[in-house]
Every structure is written in structure tokens, then in C-alpha cells.
Amino acid sequence: MSRRVCIVCETNAHTNYYCTVDEAEYVRCGQCGLMYVNKPEHHEDLYKAYTGGFWKELRRKLMAPVRRFPQVSHFEDSMERARQIFEFSSSFVGEKSEEQADTGVYLDIGCNKGFLLATAADLGWNVYGEELVPELTAPFCKTYKQFKDQIYNGRFQDVRHHFRSNMFDLITAIDVIEHFEDPVADIAGVLEILKPGGVFVIQTPDAGCEQAKQLVEKWGALKPLEHLHLFDEGNLGTFVSKTGFVDYQVSEPFEDADGNFVAVMKKPL
């Protein structure tokens, strides 16, 4: 089978077979270390991995119209995690005018149930969200009705047209970029809709971590219907720098599952 081109090195000359998980082949670039699914499924088949199956999807659809946001499972713990993530992420946003205070325009890509959005909204930010599974965001939209028309369902590449160029002070994608089907287009899209000096914060599994090295095909981050591209600290920096981001820096993960790392980067002024 031919090898897909590495999106970092833009060649498949150094790409080798890595392992097989659930009959899907992961390959790895021998030059930069990027790990990726060699032949991803069509996006309609990939979407099925996020619904949780027929019964879980049905239960979500039945509960979504009646469930209030504070009734979401593990609400308090999830809100505390969101507060920590948002406090960290927003600390990198540059100074604003006195009228703007410490608020701004914020987008959470892969916003899930909206905990980060709620945290930002409670602090006075104007919030936008993107989420693939619409039922997940319904309780947030019921509670934060002023933002319900700013929550878009679908892949980032499908809803990107709703966002203007130079629109956001801060964008987060927590445990998301590994799901991107086309990271080249998606990361370029993030750069375009950030304001000059705007901040992009991600968390993603680290393909260079000890867990990945020791467990190989048993590493928990290898999910070929979900995790299509797995970066390490170095090749992600190379990739986003080529896209146009600056001030790339790596930080400790918000949680260490599967050897995560956090990266912060900015759009040039």
C-alpha cells in the first residue's frame, strides 16, 4: 500500500509502517516523527465513532431538549477543569483597552458540552463554539440562550465560513487537533480567524511520550476512527510555524491521559 504524504515534511520518502489497530494502518514519518492513519475512513463513517452507537445517540436526542446545563454529568468537576484551562489560556491574551477589560471574543473548537464556553461567558467574554455532535451542546444553549446562535454543529472545516477573518482574541482546541481530517486547512483556518496577536491553545496526545514508545499499538491514543494525526512537541512546532504561527511554546498538560502536552502559539501582529 502506498504511503500518504507527511503533512509536516510534505513527502512520504521517509514514511514507514508503524502498527495496525482495528485493521487500520498507522504510519510514521522517519524524519519528523508524525504518526498518522495511512488511509482514513470517509468522514461520514468517522462521524459514527462520535455518536456512541444507536442507543447512546438515541438517549442523547431524547434527553437534550429537557436537560439543563447544571444537570450534565460531572458538572462541578468539569467546570473546575474548565476554569483552570481558561485561566491558563486567557493569560496569554495581550492587554486590551480599559473598556474591554479582561474580556474578548473567544472560540472553542470541539466545545463538547460547553464547559469552557460557560466559564468564559461568566467572565464577560463573547463566546462561540463548534461541536460535531449537536446533542452535546443543547443544555448549554438552553442555559446561555444569548449564545445559542453562536454554537455551530459540524466539523470545523464545515462551519469555518461563519467566522470572519481577524475575529477572535482566543481560540482553544482541547483534545481536538488529532481529530482533524485536514490539519493543513484547519490550522490555516484558525490562523485566519484569529486577530493579529491572537492566541491559539491546544492539548493533544504526545506521539513522542514514553507511553507511546513502550506500548506501541496498545497506546491508548491510537484510535483510527478518531485520532488521525498524532504529533509530538517538535513536529507540531514545525508544522504550525510553517502555517504562520509564532511564539510557539509547550506547557504541562491539563491532564496526562495518553501522554498529552499543551501548546500555545500566536498569530503575528
Q: For the chain, which residues make up each domain, given as ranges?
A: 43-207+240-266
| Integer Cα distance of 77 and 144 in angstroms | 19
| pLDDT tens digits, one per residue of 127-139 | 999 999 999 999 9
| Integer Cα distance of 120 and 105 in angstroms | 9
Q: 240 versus 98: which is more confidently predicted?
A: 240
| pLDDT tens digits, one per residue of 174-214 | 999 999 999 999 999 999 999 999 999 999 999 999 999 99
Q: Which band of pLDDT confidence, cut at 50, 70 and 90, is reported for residue 51?
A: confident
pLDDT at 98: 47
pLDDT at 72: 87
Q: CB-based contacts of 212: which residues, under 8 Å, 6+ apart? A: 35, 205, 206, 219, 221, 230, 259
| Integer Cα distance of 114 and 135 in angstroms | 11
Structurally, at CATH architecture level, domain 43-207+240-266 sits in: 3-Layer(aba) Sandwich (3.40)
Q: How many CB atoms lie within 10 A of CB 13?
A: 12
What is the residue-averaged pLDDT of the chain? 92
Q: Which band of pLDDT confidence, cut at 50, 70 and 90, is reported for residue 57?
A: low
| Integer Cα distance of 144 and 197 in angstroms | 28
DSSP state of 148: G
Q: Which band of pLDDT confidence, cut at 50, 70 and 90, is reported for residue 144?
A: very high
High-pLDDT (> 70) share of the chain, %: 91
DSSP state of 66: T
Q: Give the rounded distance of the alpha carbon of 224 from its chain centre.
A: 16
Q: Which residue has the cell 484551562?
A: 85
